[in-house]
Amino acid sequence: MVIGQDLVLAAKKDLERFFTPAANFELKVELNSTSRHHASVVGVEDDLRIRFSNDFCNAVVDDIDALHYFALIISHEVAHYMHSHNEHKDESENDSKSIEAFADFFGTRVMMTLITYGREFIKLYEVIGFKFHGGKVLDSVGAAIAELSDTLFKSDSKNYPNCISRVGFCASGVTSFLDKQFGNMDVQRSMDVLTRIYSAGSLPQLFKYQSDDFDMDRDFISRSDEVHKSIQGINICITRGVKPEYLKFIGTSYHSTPESREIYVESMRSIANEQGLDLPKFT
Q: Which residues make Cβ contacts (< 8 Å) with residue 170, sequence separation at least 6? A: 72, 104, 105, 107, 108, 145, 148
Q: Is the pLDDT of residue 260 over 80?
A: no
pLDDT of residue 34: 94
Average pLDDT over residues 266-270: 61
Residue 202: CA count within 13 A, CB half-sphere: 16
Q: Is the pLDDT of residue 7 over 90?
A: yes
Q: Is the pLDDT of residue 85 over 60?
A: yes
Strand order in the sheet with 29-33: 29-33, 49-53, 39-42
3 state SS for 134-163: HHHHHHHHHHHHHHHHHCCCCCCCCCCCCH
Q: Is the pLDDT of residue 263 over 60?
A: no
Average pLDDT over residues 16-40: 96
What is the percent of the chain with per-residue pLDDT over 90, rounded to a whole number? 73
Distance, in Å, from the CA atom of 131 to the CA atom of 227, rounded to the nearest integer, reads 40
Q: Is the pLDDT of residue 194 over 60?
A: yes
DSSP 8-state symbol, 132: P
Can you tell me whether residue 129 is helix, strand or coil? coil
Average pLDDT over residues 78-102: 91
Q: Is the pLDDT of residue 118 over 70?
A: yes
E strand residue ranges, 62-107: none
Q: Is the pLDDT of residue 132 over 90?
A: no
Q: Is the pLDDT of residue 98 over 70?
A: yes
Q: How confident is the model at residue 120 (pLDDT cuts 50, 70, 90)?
A: very high
Q: Is the pLDDT of residue 270 over 60?
A: yes
Q: Mean pLDDT lowest for which of 6-15, 154-163, 167-176, 261-270?
A: 261-270
pTM, full prediction = 0.90
Q: How confident is the model at residue 257 (pLDDT cuts 50, 70, 90)?
A: low
Q: Mean pLDDT lowest for which of 138-147, 153-162, 214-223, 241-250?
A: 214-223
Average pLDDT over residues 139-155: 96
Which residues are bridge partners to 40 per DSSP?
51
Q: How many CB atoms lie within 10 A of CB 244?
A: 8
Q: How many CB atoms lie within 10 A of CB 182?
A: 10
pLDDT of residue 79: 98
Q: Given the DSSP bridges, would you call strands 49-53 and 29-33 parallel, antiparallel or unpaired? A: parallel
Q: How confident is the model at residue 50 (pLDDT cuts 50, 70, 90)?
A: very high
Q: Which residues make Cβ contacts (< 8 Å) with residue 186, sequence separation at least 6? A: 179, 275
**61 with 7: CB under 8 angstroms?**
yes
pLDDT of residue 258: 61
User: Who has greater pLDDT, 163 or 264?
Assistant: 163
DSSP 8-state symbol, 47: G
Q: Is the pLDDT of residue 256 over 70?
A: no
Distance, in Å, from the CA atom of 214 to the CA atom of 175, rounded to the nearest integer, reads 18
